[in-house]
A and B are shown apart, each in its own frame.
Chain A
Amino acid sequence: SQELEQSPQSLIVQEGKNLTINCTSSKTLYGLYWYKQKYGEGLIFLMMLQKGGEEKSHEKITAKLDEKKQQSSLHITASQPSHAGIYLCGADRDTPLVFGKGTRLSVIA
């Protein structure tokens, strides 16, 4: 089974709506990274969470780390077409990073 499970696998939202993507680990999380990938391109670093309860925001994207639940969530407020892409979470495993399979987000007008 996958060490990092992301849900949902895909998501279609209307522009302006809020959404949440979850990343659940089967092992203790010591560091959790969020990246965004446009189809067929490289990964763009969004943010990194290290401590339980930590919350970080970048523009309209907020990520939280719940260490006890071994889970992180990524929340997008008032989605825009520019938010479309694949969101990947990666766990710090003393290099390399271990990644989830990603959540494909589509934003429709």
Chain B
Amino acid sequence: KAGVTQTPRYLIKTRGQQVTLSCSPISGHRSVSWYQQTPGQGLQFLFEYFSETQRNKGNFPGRFSGRQFSNSRSEMNVSTLELGDSALYLCASSLGRRETQYFGPGTRLLVL
């Protein structure tokens, strides 16, 4: 079975721009979660989607949004990028909620 895939793997943007990251879960997995990883804060939860509905949201500003499609693929969007948004964005999928999460390779975003 193919693992979790994330595109793009690397991204360079400038302040004020917006960005969309994509995540394709493992086949059959219906839950997708997004995390932000930075050297200072570590791994922080962004959102969780299950059956196209946002089930949980972390403590991030409204500039961060996401969605899940009927095939369980998910996207996250960050608008009005700030320098502090530079991070590794990780997507994880699981069969259902509270099941083991399997992570993708991440998208490294650099905001200049």
Q: Which residues from chain A sit less than 8 Å from chain B, CB to CB? A: 33, 35, 40-45, 48, 88, 90, 92, 94-102
Contact = CB atoms under 8 A, between A and B. Distances in A.
Contacts of A94: 98
A41 B35 CA distance: 13
Given A88-B43, A96-B48, A45 B100 contact: yes
Contacts of B90: 42-43
Main secondary structure of the interface of A (DSSP, over half): strand
Interface of B: 4, 6, 31, 33, 35, 42-43, 45, 48, 55-56, 58, 88, 90, 92, 97-98, 100-106, 108
Contacts of A95: 31, 33, 48, 55-56, 97-98
Nearest to A92: B98
Contacts of A100: 42
A35 to B, nearest CB: 7
B104 A48 contact: no
Contacts of B58: 96
Contacts of B42: 99-102
Nearest to A30: B98
Contact of A43 (B45, B48, B56, B103): B103
A96 B102 contact: no
